[in-house]
Structure 1
Amino acid sequence: MKKRIGIRVVTISMLSCLFLLPGFSAWGTPRQAEIDPLEMSLEELMQVVVTSVAKKEQTLWDTAAAVYVISNEDIRRSGAKNIPEALRMAPGVQVSAIANNKWAISIRGFAERFSNKLLVLVDGRSVYSPLFSGVFWEALDVPLELIERIEVIRGPGSAIWGVNAVNGVINIITKLAEQSEGGRISLATGSELRHRGFVGYGSELSEQTYFRLHALTKDTAPSRFVGGGKAEDDWQLRTVGLRLDHAGEFGSMMIQSSLNTTNAGDESNLSSSPPRLERVVQTQEIDTGYLLGRWEHERSQQHSRSFQFAFEHFRWDNAVLAEKRSTVDLEYQERWRGLPRHDVIWGLGYRISWDDISNTPTVVLEDGSATTHLYSIFVQDEISITPDNWKLVLGARLDHNEYTGFELQPNARLLWTPNEFHSLWMALSRAVRTPSRTERAAIGYNMAQPESQPPSVVTFFRHLDRAEQVHALDAGWRHQLLPSMSMDIATFYYRYNQLRDLAIDTPEFQPPGFLNVPVMFTNQGSATTTGLEVSLDWRPFDIWRLEASMSLLRIQRESTQDRISNIDDEVSPTRSFSLRSSLDLSSDLQLDAWIRSFNAIKQHDISGFTTLDLRLGWQARDNLELFIVGQNLLRPSHPEFVEIQLASTPTEVQRSFYFGIDWRF
């Protein structure tokens, strides 16, 4: 407690000292010079450039996919403390807090802590973990201050990005080093956010060469258990990083690197064989480090090429399992625009990943270490059928992986823009999700009825040998209703085959006197999902922006009498609603409000809930902002999700406040 009070005193003292300092130019430019969606017209917003749909620049209006862009200014004004909270702005994206350091994030259903049908990238580098097929969100160390935008693609992206981009792709794109000249310090403290500190500095090394250094530290207090009492989900993160950008005669080059240490508290009820149920309080330790390099060269207006190299080392220490993993990624890409009405892009990829996994009494892998290889080739052609009206995109990607062999993932997209007010599109796709390391060859234990006589233990045998697959139909309509109002509608119909499900075998007695219930993971499941997503952007006045979105989702899972479907059709809300209001009260005072509403999650017995966040920001000087944020203000606390995979004790999200300062010099 004394340590926490000390940190707050130091933070408040630093805030006071900084406030008394004279003003300097902001981080490169004053905040007002950054791209502010409130200062852009709706026509300008539709011309925002995205790169994640086709691995090339194209405007949002000309994209035949359900895409939502979260800008840096959107993140700032939302009051989000981390990337998962920022992702709540995108329609069709479920972000459920499992605890203060864990989230279930998915697109269009199938939510888990490690949602296996969602591919997440940082500057085009995959952060998808093959251990559980998902993302360790607590270890994602990208500071919010460095994010230029987050591109969220709802729907399959496997024809471009490869396996596991089944229901969507999230690409977090950071700022160029040139956009970060000068210094920046951001500090915050509050009721649950004990402290957060960011320091960044960028400068010009030589003509057309820039660098940036940054450091981030964050400490989040634990929440409360669903049944009451202090939880064990505290969270500490420390990271340092650098970026170097150079543009010259032979192309542009980018190098970036980061080192990160994460400590995340947890409480679990773990089982083992012979049967034993144990309450484990632990601090999960995650250490990551990566090096990313990319070279791009535009030889002419008709031909460009790029090469990307990435190396990552990852270490995770948990009571359930421990892993050390190193990964090398190589990608080469070319773009040809020499033929009339054709824009062709193709590429090659290779990934090698080797791991060392330590077994525990709860989970045992048959092979404690493995090396896997992934080879890929893709090609896509954008055909202008008629100039400025009809476009047809045809593409496919062929991957070869260690577990399921060759996987072909094609797609076809059609875009029709009859005039400047309408943009309609449709897409047909096939995408696959390959088994994770633990699904491929692992045995897990779960104490089903520890108090029964004899006690019963469920033994999970994981030997998946086929890829989950989806055949997807997507369609959408973007419409400029008024000069001050636009609408974006997306709908979809997905058919899943070879889904992971569970088959129960005959129970049997085993020494020293317990009932063993064998359960096999198989690929016999199937499901159908349908949904509708609507978003509306309205500017009633120049100083006021309203953004509303609604999502409807229906999942029908099929299972036979001797199988269990994993019941992941009931872990996502079927209805959700979001309304954000951004109001400039004056030239230096901003008020933002954000309401979100969700219906019940059946499997976890979580009632529907509504949340309200408020943010008040004061631009004291051109380079100095003070702000206060209140989150989850309508109720003292509420649960949002229950983790099944690693059996964490359920917690509740609490009402919280924090205030901070952002100073650029």
Structure 2
Amino acid sequence: MIRSRLAVLALSLLILVTVAGISPCFAADRDVSADLDNLDLEDLLQVEMVSPSERKQSLENIAGSYTILTEEDIKRSGATSVPEALRTVPGVIVTRTDTDKWALGVRGFSGTFNSKQLILVDNRPITSPYFNGVIWSSQDLPIQLVKRIEIIRGPWTSLWGSESFNGVINIITKSAAEMQGNRSVTTTGTDGVSQYLRKGGHLSENGTLAVYAKGGYEPGKKYRIRGRTEKGSTDWTTGSGGFRADWLNAYTDQFSIQGQIAGSSITEHSPPGNPFSADKDKEDYSGYAQILWDRKTGARSGMQFRTSYTRTFLTVTDMENISNSADAEFIYSNEQLEDHFLTFGLGSKYFWNSFKQGEHVQVTNDSIYSLEFSGFAKDRITLIDEKLFLNLGLKLDYSGGSELAPQPTARLLYMEEDEEYWLAASYANRKPSYWVQEGSYRVRVNDKEYTVDFSGDLKNEKLATIEAGYRKLFSETLKFDVSLYLNNYDQMVTFSFDDTTDTATPVSGLCGISYGTEVALDWQPYSFLTLRPSIDISNQDFQNIPPGIPGFSPPLNTPLYSIKMQALIDLAENWELDLFSSYVNSMDDKDLSTGFGFDARLAWQVRDNLSLELIGSNLLTTLDESNFSPTEPSCTLRLTWDF
């Protein structure tokens, strides 16, 4: 553990020394999206954005349920990590299951290894190709790098493929031009300490570079798990460093290269309900590099090429895994005959994993290799000029040893002045993750231990869904958004328990439906006050659900009510008070936080280049009867200094 902490410190110092010669620049140089930070939602609807996946489609033509968290939204939420920032989003359930572990779900599914949504950073998948979930402890993405987060609920498989089963979360980071100058962000409090440093400068007249380093330490805390107080993992030390360079050529070509390396160490404990921790010290490492080339060939046409390589080393209880992944995609879009906006794309991904088997967790093979291909085509057809649009899309996914998986969708959008009506039908067909097809470990379910034997022959999971929604801009200060959905799941992976052999085997035997609605309001009744209430009501109806394996996002099979309220208050000049409260009731005891939550943030802009924030989390812990939640409130002081 000491070696890991010294390595993290050395990495941070090395990056800062390396860039000491870069001359900072505070001029007005910016990339093509630098003005977007100052735009409201109604303005964003009129500009071209990256959603979804740089598919050259403006948000006004998205017939689906989405939320955009801007940099200002993220700051005023008081979030110190990406999962924390997502708590305010309707239809998204975020649970911290341990000091370094998060369970994140969209529209009802949740779990440490939840594989029902795709999560990307700058369009680079961070979902593990082997576990099909995000191992947040190996990411360590500084929240200060994030420009915005785009959350698209519902299956977008015709664009993203089978991984976007229940939705897509795309984390967009700032360009190097937006990170000029020097910045220091220091946080300290009951949850530990962290330090973030960034330096930006010019490489050439059209080239910019930014580098950063971050280190942190959390002592750990106790959690309430199924009515009992359990000790969480302790002594979590993290560190990361990275860079981004951008070149812009006459606003037609943009070339970017970025990368990061990160490491962490922690003393794990294995509380009930978290079978992926062990009573031992562990270390995780990760790194990635990505190249992006974007060319605009016309006012409504363009192409993009992106490629990346990611490597991670992580431990699952006593099994060690080294994962390598390389992917590439090419996208071309062009408007044809004014009535058709065509987008085509090709992609491939190759990953190879090696394992060092443990005594408690094993997999069938010591190494595994996989090559996957995909292609998609989409057409936005204008049926009535500036009013009625039909989006038709199809994506084909193929991986070795499996059948071709088609992912079709149709989306209809009607626009009338400040109103939008949309209707969508989609079909998803996804291969179960490698993790549920091979391997073995022991887990306690209902006070009895079983050996989970991943040796069954599993079929592809399938989803057919119908969605509808309505958006209206009543005025500059009042916006309304409602969506409804009906999902029909088939051949979902579940577990068959054999009490005679004490084994649990995954089988493709679960089917059922889920349905619900999401309602969100953005209201500014006074110039100093903005209110953002939302309510998410969903229900799942699955037959013959066996006891769930903790961490594997089983269906809740019960009504789920999630009510959220965010209040943004400008107390006085240079003073802000932000409040966030939530109530979740699942009427179940699955891996899901239920009960009340209350967070607060008080911010003071001391000078133009200096701000101070006091952030309180889990402040109503005495009223909280939840599962998987910290037992004590936390208080954090955050100092941001530009110099």
Give 1:447 shift: 5.8
Structure 2 residue 636 is matched with structure 1 residue 658: yes
Identify the residue that residue 546 of structure 1 maps to in structure 2. Answer: 531
Letter in 1 for 2:264: T
Distance 1:134 1:278 in 2: 13
Query: What's 1:587 paired with?
Result: 573
Q: Between 387-396 and 44-53, report the one with greater CA deviation.
A: 44-53
Q: CA–CA distance in 1 between the matches of 2:198 and 2:109?
A: 37
Q: Distance in 2 between matches of 1:638 and 1:281?
A: 28
Indicate if the aligned counterparts of 1:636 and 1:655 stay in contact, CA closer than 8 A.
no
> What is the Cα deviation at residue 307 of structure 1?
1.0
In the TM superposition, residue 130 of structure 1 has moved relative to its aligned partner by 2.5
- Which of 234, 254, 257 is residue 252 of structure 1 equivalent to? 254
Q: How far apart in 2 are the matches of 1:73 and 1:62? A: 24
Partner of 2:439: 442
In the TM superposition, residue 36 of structure 1 has moved relative to its aligned partner by 9.7
Compare 131-140 and 277-286 and name the one that shifted more.
277-286
Q: CA deviation at 1:200?
A: 0.7
2:276 & 2:390 partners in 1: Cα distance? 58
Q: Is the 8 A contact 1:266 1:282 kept in 2?
A: yes
Give the C-alpha shift of residue 289 in structure 1. 0.7
The answer on whether the counterparts of 1:103 and 1:137 sit within 8 Å (CA) in structure 2 is yes
State which of 526, 541, 545 in structure 2 corresponds to 1:556.
541
Aligned to 2:11: none
* Residue identity in the other structure for 1:244: A
Following superposition, the deviation at residue 457 of structure 1 comes to 4.6
* Residues 1:536 and 2:521 aligned together: yes
Alpha-carbon deviation of 1:639? Answer: 6.8
Counterparts of 1:457 and 1:591 in 2: how far apart (Å)? Answer: 49
Letter of the 2:335 counterpart: R
Offset at residue 47 of structure 1 (A): 4.2
Kindly state the Cα deviation for residue 543 of structure 1 after the two structures are TM-superposed: 2.0
Aligned residues of 1:527 and 1:556 also touching (Cα < 8 A): yes
Pick aligned residue for 2:473 from 480, 501, 514? 480
How far apart, CA to CA, are the structure 1 residues paired with 2:354 and 2:119?
Answer: 23
TM-score (norm 2): 0.88
CA contact (8 A) 2:376 2:396 kept: yes
Give the share of equivalent positions with the same residue, in percent.
Answer: 27
Which residue number in structure 2 is paired with residue 350 of structure 1?
348
> Residues of 2 paired with 1:278 and 1:237: CA distance?
19
Contact kept, 8 Å, 2:99 with 2:232, in 1: the verdict is no
**Residue in structure 1 matched with residue 608 of structure 2 by the alignment:** 622
Residue number in structure 2 paired with 1:120:
119
Deviations 1:529-549 (A, max 9, x none): 001000000011222211111
2:240 — aligned with what? 239
Q: 2:184 is matched by which residue type in structure 1? A: I
User: Once the 2 structures are TM-superposed, how far is the Cα of residue 291 of structure 1 from its aligned partner?
Assistant: 0.6
Give the counterpart letter for 2:442 in structure 1. Y
Computing the radius of gyration from Cα coordinates, the structure with the larger value is 1
C-alpha spacing 1:404/1:300, structure 2 compared with 1 (3 Å) = same
Alignment of 1:348-497 (within 5 A): 348-417=346-415, 419-446=416-443, 457-497=450-490
1:272-303: CA deviations, max 9, x gaps?
Answer: xxxxx999412332111111001112233354
Structure 1: 5+ residue runs without aligned partners?
1-23, 272-276, 508-515, 643-650
Partner-residue secondary structure (3-state), 2:299:
coil
Per-residue deviation at 1:658?
1.0
For residues 626 and 594 of structure 2, what CA distance do their matches in structure 1 show? 9
Distance 1:654 1:370 in 2: 43
Q: Is the 8 A contact 2:461 2:493 kept in 1?
A: yes
Residues 100-115 of structure 1: pairs in structure 2 closer than 5 A: 100-115=99-114
User: What TM-score do the two structures reach when normalised by structure 1?
Assistant: 0.86
CA contact (8 A) 2:276 2:317 kept: no
Q: CA deviation at 1:235?
A: 2.5
Q: Is the 8 A contact 2:517 2:538 kept in 1?
A: yes
Residues 464 and 202 of structure 1: is their aligned pair in 2 closer, same or farther, counting only changes over 3 Å? Answer: farther
Amino acid at match of 1:657: C
User: CA 1:67–1:27 in structure 2 vs 1: closer, same or farther (change >3 Å)?
Assistant: farther
Match of 1:522 among 501, 507, 523: 507
Cα 1:310/1:176, change in 2 over 3 Å = same
The Cα offsets for residues 108-136 of structure 1, whole Å up to 9 and x where unpaired, read as 01211011111000000000112322001
User: Could you list the per-position Cα deviations for residues 367-400 of structure 1 after superposition, in whole angstroms to 9, with x for gaps in the alignment?
Assistant: 1101101011110011111111000000110010
Instruction: Report 1:277-296 matches (<5 A).
Output: 280-296=278-294
Look up the equivalent residue of 2:247 and give its one-letter code: H
Q: Which amino acid aligns with 1:328?
A: A
Separation of aligned partners in 2, 1:28 and 1:264: 43
- Superimposed CA distance per residue, residues 605-646 of structure 1 (whole angstroms, 9 cap, x where no aligned partner): 97842111111111111111011111111225857545xxxx
Instruction: Quote how far apart the aligned CAs of 1:46 are.
Output: 4.5
Aligned pair in 2 of structure 1 residues 607, 336: CA closer, same or farther (>3 Å)? closer
1:474-511 Cα offsets, whole Å, 9 max, x none, are 1110012334211000110000011002224472xxxx
Cα distance in 2 between the residues matched to 1:339 and 1:608: 53
Cα offsets for 1:324-345 (capped at 9, x unmatched): 0111101111112133211101
Q: 1:180 to 1:105 in 2, by over 3 A?
A: same
Confirm or deny: 8 A CA contact 2:438 2:453 kept in the other structure.
no
Deviations 1:332-373 (A, max 9, x none): 111121332111010111111011012222222221101101
What secondary structure is seen at the aligned counterpart in 2 of 1:179? helix
Contact 1:72/1:144 (8 A) holds in 2 = no
**Cα distance in structure 1, aligned partners of 2:467 and 2:49:** 19
Q: Does structure 2 retain, via aligned residues, the 8 Å contact 1:322–1:358?
A: yes
The letter of the residue matching 1:610 is F
Measure the CA separation in 2 of the matches of 1:219 and 1:225: 18
Runs of at least 5 residues in structure 2 that lack an aligned partner in the other structure: 1-23
The answer to whether the Cα contact below 8 Å between 1:439 and 1:464 also exists between their aligned partners in 2 is no
Question: Which range moved further: 623-632 or 455-464?
Answer: 455-464
User: How far apart, CA to CA, are the structure 2 residues paired with 1:534 and 1:340?
Assistant: 34
Give the letter aligned to residue 353 of structure 1. F
Match of 1:316 in 2: 314
Q: Residues 639, 436 of structure 1: CA spacing in aligned structure 2 closer, same or farther, 3 A cutoff?
A: farther
Once residues 501 and 218 of structure 1 are traced to their aligned partners in structure 2, the CA distance between those partners, rounded to angstroms, is 38
How far apart, CA to CA, are the structure 2 residues paired with 1:219 and 1:436? 32
**8 A Cα contact 1:421 1:479, kept in partner:** yes
Aligned counterparts of 1:309 and 1:396: Cα–Cα separation in 2: 22
Q: Is the 8 A contact 1:110 1:571 kept in 2?
A: no
Distance 1:220 1:571, change over 3 A: farther
Tell me whether 379-388 or 475-484 shows the greater mean CA deviation: 475-484
Q: CA, structure 1 residues 635+593, in 2 after alignment: closer, same or farther (shift >3 Å)?
A: same
* Inter-partner Cα distance in structure 1 for 2:638 and 2:547: 49
Deviations 1:439-495 (A, max 9, x none): 122233346699xxxx97545334343221100111110012334211000110000
Assess, with a 3 A threshold, how the Cα gap between structure 1 residues 653 and 253 changes in structure 2: closer, same or farther. farther
CA RMSD of aligned residues (A): 2.9
Corresponding residue pairs, total: 610
Structure 1 residues 345 and 187: alpha-carbon distance in aligned structure 2, compared to 1, 3 A threshold: same
Is the Cα–Cα contact under 8 Å of residues 309 and 329 in structure 1 kept in the other structure? yes
Q: Deviations along 1:411-455, whole A, 9 cap, x unmatched?
A: 1100000x22210101111113322222122233346699xxxx9
